[in-house]
Chain A
Amino acid sequence: MSQIVKAPDVRLVPARRRFLGTLGTATLSATAVAILAGCERMATAQGGSAANDVQILNVALGLEQEAITAYQLGAESGLLQKPVLDVAVAFQSHHKEHAGALEATIRKLGGAPVAPKSKDEYARALNAASLRNQTDVLKLAQRLERGAANAYIGVIPSFGSKDLAKVAARLAADETMHWTALTSALAEPLPKGALSFGG
C-alpha cells in the first residue's frame, strides 16, 4: 500500500502497438500540492462559498480514497498480470497524489478532510468478491475512472473559486487519461462522437 512507484515502464499493449507509450516519473505530487496551496487566498476572498468549496473537495477526496482502495484490491487479488499490474500501481499512485493534494487544500481552507472508510467497506460497496479475472478488475477500474472524471466535470459549476474549478478540470483530465488507457487495455473502442464526458 505504501509502496511508491518511481518511474514504472508500463505498457498495456505490445510494443508494436505502443500507442500508450510509457508512464513518466510521478512528479505531479509536489506541483499539484503547490498549485492547490496557491489557492489559500480564497478562504477569505470568497465569503460563504469557501465552506461549500470545502464540501465539494471532501466529496472528491472520498472518491479518491475509494479509487486508491479499489486499485489496492485489484493489485492484491492476484488477478493482474505483470504489465497491467504495474499500470494499476501507477494509477493508484496518481490517486494517492490527488488525495494528498485535496487533503492539503481542505486544511488550508480551514476544513477537516474526511477519513477513508475501511477496506472491507469499500470491498463490499464495490462488490470486489465478484472479481474473477483481469478483465473484471480492469472493467471495475474503467467504470470508476469514468465515474470520477464525470463527477469532477459535474461539480465544476458549483465551485465558488475558479482556481479550484480549474483544479477539478485537471483532476478530471487525469481520470480521463486513466479511463482511456484502461479502455485500450480492454481492447474496447473509443467513443465515436465528441463530448462523450460530462454534460
Chain B
Amino acid sequence: MCRAATAAILTLAGLLIAAGAVHAADPERGRELYEARCTGCHSIDANRVGPMHRGVFGRKAGSVADFTYSPAVKASAIVWNDATLDRWLAGPQKLIPGQRMNFTVGQPEDRADIIAYLKSDAAR
C-alpha cells in the first residue's frame, strides 16, 4: 500500500519534472531579458566589455577576432549550443575556469528564453 503510494508519487513527480523541462522557450521574452540583463556588457553588433553576440549560437567560444578574451575562453574548444550556453549562463566559472564574465542567470526558464533569442534571426 505504502509502496504503491510512493511509486505513484514518484511517477507524478517525474511527470511534473518532465513538464517543467519542456518549458517552451520564448525568444521575445528572451529579447527583453537580454536587453535588461546582458546589454550592460554586450551588444549584438559591437564589442563592449564583452564580445559581440551576432552569430554566437553555433560558433566556437572565444572566436570573435577583434575581442580580447581571457586565455581560458580563447583556448576553450566549447561550441555554443543550447546545452553549453545553459551551463555558461548558470555558472560560467564552472564551465570554463578562468573566464572573466562571472555573470549568472539564476532561473532555468530565463536562460532558455535568452538562448532562444540568441538562436533567433534577430541575433543570427
Q: Is B101 an interface residue (CB 8 A)?
A: yes
Secondary structure class of chain B's binding surface, majority of residues: loop
Q: Is A62 an interface residue (CB 8 A)?
A: yes
Cβ contacts A142-182/B at 8 Å (1 or 0 each): 01101111110011011000000000000000000000000
Cβ contacts A52-81/B at 8 Å (1 or 0 each): 100110110011001000000000000000
Count A/B pairs, Cβ under 8 Å: 66
**A54 nearest in chain B by CB position:** B100
Give the contacting residue for B102; candidates A59, A144, A148; CB below 8 A. Answer: A59
Q: How far is the CA of A62 from the CA of B43 in the complex (A)?
A: 14
B49 pairs with A155, CB closer than 8 A = no
Chain B nearest Cβ from A71, distance in angstroms: 15
B102 pairs with A52, CB closer than 8 A = yes
Q: How far is the CA of A127 from the CA of B106 in the complex (A)?
A: 30
Chain B nearest Cβ from A53, distance in angstroms: 9
Q: Is B48 an interface residue (CB 8 A)?
A: yes
B43 pairs with A125, CB closer than 8 A = yes
Which of under 10, 10 to 19, 20 to 34, or 35 or more describes the interface residues of A? Answer: 20 to 34
Q: How far is the CA of A59 from the CA of B50 in the complex (A)?
A: 9
Give the contacting residue for B40; candidates A124, A126, A148; CB below 8 A. Answer: A148
**B70 nearest in chain A by CB position:** A55
Chain A nearest Cβ from B33, distance in angstroms: 8
Q: Is B6 an interface residue (CB 8 A)?
A: no
Q: Is A193 an interface residue (CB 8 A)?
A: no
Would A59 and B105 be within 8 Å (CB), given that A66-B48, A125-B46, A158-B93 are in contact? no
Give the contacting residue for B49; candidates A52, A62, A124, A150; CB below 8 A. Answer: A62
- Known contacts A59-B101, A154-B104, A158-B103; can you find 20 more A-B pairs with CB under 8 A? A52-B93, A56-B102, A58-B100, A59-B100, A66-B49, A125-B43, A125-B46, A125-B48, A126-B46, A127-B46, A143-B39, A144-B40, A147-B38, A150-B40, A151-B37, A154-B37, A154-B105, A158-B93, A158-B104, A199-B37
